[in-house]
A and B are shown apart, each in its own frame.
Chain A
Amino acid sequence: MLPHLTRRWPVYAVLALLAYPWIWRAPYFHLLGFDTLLGATMAVSWNIMGGYTGYKSLGHSAFFGLGAYLVAIAANRWGWNPLWSAPLLALVVVAVALLLGWIMLRTTGSAFVIATIALLLIFRLLALNLRGITGGAPGLSQPLPPWSPEFSRLPFFYYMLIWTLVAVAVSAFIVRSRFGLGLLAIRDDEGKAEMVGVNTTLYKVLAFGLSAYFVGLGGGIWSYFQTHISPVFAFDLRIGVDMILMTMLGGLGTVWGPVLGAFILIPARDFILFRFGATQIHLAISGALMLAIILFLPRGILPTLQEWLERRRAPASAFVGARLMTELRDESAATASTPPGDPHSRVRPAPR
């Protein structure tokens, strides 16, 4: 591949995103951009738990809704500006997630998945019924942003962009750290990870808490963006499903996979909604897409693409020689900080 382009592409991508709202100036495109960045941020966050650690939560919308409600309540009661209260209150979401994670992460496999669904349902039911705090089914409104309405989506777009970049940076930092290595070890074999001295419980709980941060933050910003929230939309199972879909499409357990997934899925979904209009069809398509990804592209776009490229470039040498070459390349690449991909694809038997 072209080394300059591959190394610098994030810079170009960010420049393109900065220019985007000025090229497509219609409010619709600003809304689409915001939605995409919001989805990307949350998928990156979900991936820390679902991708790196291998515990796939279906209930992350619980943290989304919690963030949304905390921000709305703080804005109404104490006049806190969501732009600074959202990142702050997301810490409260993290605290809740740490506590719940500490309880829930005694479970593994499908029991964990089901427990996360139960968690979401409990949160939604509480939001519907604690009327004094949440306003019940009608939901909560909060003050409008101070800037003019026709301009209103632009600041949100740039603000969200900042947080997307922060989330990606955090995710990239984690996967290169000792902590990240521990998470990957848990995903691959929890028993062995425990045996070689990884404090699996602590690691899992921390990963769960961390993965709630940007989801809670996203909920907070979304809540300000919407100005009105209600339990059914804030604690919607589909928000969590979207995080999974985006991550699995782009590449589970990769840094950029969730972002790529969001940039494909959200515009595509918008197109479908625009084309067919019905949200029910959108649901059926989401489900069918999820099935298709699991059946035919189980590792997602990025790892599959990477493997394909490597296979093309790999010399047709003997097994030992080819493996040595991969290792040598990895070593030199590691010093020049490679984009981290699926660690499995690093050392693998050479193609015949």
Chain B
Amino acid sequence: MSLPPTSVLIQVAIGGLLTGGVYALLVSGLTLIFGVMRVINIAHGAFLVLSAYLAYWLFTLLGMDPIVSIAVLAPLFFVFGVLVQRYLIARVRQEPGLLVLVTFALAITLEGVMGSLWRTTGRSVRTAYTGEVVPLALGDLTVRLPIVQLVGFAAAVIALGVLYLLLTRSDLGRAIRATIQNPDAAQLVGVNVALVRALTFGAALASVAAGGAVFSLIWTFNASSHEAWISKMLSIVVLGGMGSLPGALVGALIIGVAEAVAAVTITTYLSPIVSYLILFFILVFRPQGLLGSRIREA
């Protein structure tokens, strides 16, 4: 294994940071759901791919830019999320092993439906600016950044900003944070915890809808892509600490860079193993991750 030259490494690391920003958007809902209701939503990757498909069709049929389609997809997925939480998650015996199976079953149901509707062809949105790069001069080094990466990163930053404001400045945000800290106490002081849970699930799916639209710009996907993506997303939130939003951000940036560097130092084929190994060993040896607190389930 020989190290590529430093200029390549810098280029790759900056690309990795941009990707990491998008990752942060993809996983924010996942960690929020876990924080509020102790549910690991395995279907998160499937929702991501579903949103990417819808963005793809909006683009192909109506010519709507994926970034614009967020305005359509986010409210739609919000409603979807509230319904899923109310009529599925809340109805099952609240036992961690069982809840994971529910979201897993939801994931493969979605995969099967998407696979039969849209076959297995890899899809990706190709806009007018796909493939364009912006040169960025850093001293005597010029880093070339793909526009889709920059657009995706900007959209992710804005969406995460909205989520942050929602959590810190609104009554709902306060209620969500109270429920994360202690559901029983929140209930006691008058928070409608059942409602908060449903709305959180909605907000989480709205964020993954935004993520899916960005996703469709940058990556190629088909129905079964969600398997690889949910494992990557899980390794990010597990690394950062389940339930912690700042943790998710840190985890996303670390994995984004680590993966990009691994792709040029190991091989592209074997590079996903980095995130799988992180997932496995963090779960086993440091279940609270980097920034999370040790959480007792059930």
Contacts and interface: CB of A to CB of B under 8 A. Distances in A.
B1 interface: no
A207 interface: no
Given A58-B104, A114-B100, A282 B276 contact: no
A284 B111 CA distance: 7
A286 B102 contact: no
Given A54-B97, A109-B297, A290-B101, A237 B227 contact: yes
Given A117-B231, A125-B273, A294 B98 contact: yes
Nearest to B102: A294
Interface string A99-133: 00001101111111111011101100110110000
A254 to B, nearest CB: 17
B277 A129 contact: no
Contact of B100 (A110, A238, A291, A295): A110
Contacts of A129: 267, 269-270
A73 to B, nearest CB: 20
Contact of A114 (B40, B99, B108): B40
Contacts of A128: 269
Given A107-B287, A108-B297, A286-B108, A115 B280 contact: yes
Most buried by A among B98, B227, B234, B298: B98
B283 A241 contact: no
B137 interface: no
B211 to A, nearest CB: 20
A56 interface: yes
A280 B283 contact: no
Given A107-B283, A125-B276, A287-B108, A298 B99 contact: no
A110 B283 CA distance: 10
B101 A282 contact: no
A287 B223 CA distance: 14
A277 B92 CA distance: 32
Given A106-B284, A118-B276, A118-B280, A284 B100 contact: no
Contacts of B116: 278, 280-281, 284
A113 B97 contact: yes
B105 A287 contact: yes
A298 B94 CA distance: 12
Interface string B98-137: 1111101111111111011000100000000000000000
A287 B277 contact: no
Contacts, number: 135
Interface in A212-262: 237-238, 241, 244
Contacts of A162: none
Contact of A125 (B223, B234, B272): B272
A18 interface: no
Contacts of A294: 92, 98, 101-102, 105
A241 B297 contact: no
Given A241-B108, A285-B112, A110 B40 contact: yes
Interface residues of B, number: 48
A213 B182 CA distance: 42
A118 B231 contact: yes
Nearest to A50: B97
B91 interface: yes
B119 to A, nearest CB: 8
Given A122-B277, A287-B107, A281 B270 contact: no
A316 interface: no
Contact of A111 (B93, B104, B283): B283
A87 B52 CA distance: 46
Nearest to B271: A125
A122 B108 contact: no
B91 to A, nearest CB: 6
Given A110-B40, A278-B116, A295 B108 contact: no
B96 interface: yes
Contacts of A163: none
A291 B105 contact: yes
B101 A244 contact: yes
Contacts of A281: 112, 116
A295 to B, nearest CB: 6
A55 B284 CA distance: 15
A244 B287 CA distance: 25
Given A114-B40, A122-B277, A287-B109, A55 B231 contact: no
Given A54-B97, A104-B284, A113-B100, 14 more contacts: A56-B100, A58-B104, A106-B285, A110-B38, A112-B97, A118-B235, A118-B276, A118-B283, A122-B276, A283-B111, A284-B112, A285-B112, A286-B108, A291-B105
15 contacts: A104-B284, A109-B97, A110-B100, A113-B96, A113-B97, A114-B40, A114-B279, A115-B280, A118-B231, A118-B234, A280-B116, A287-B108, A287-B110, A294-B92, A294-B98
Q: Which 6 A-B pairs have the closest CB atoms?
A: A284-B112, A287-B109, A280-B115, A283-B112, A109-B96, A290-B105
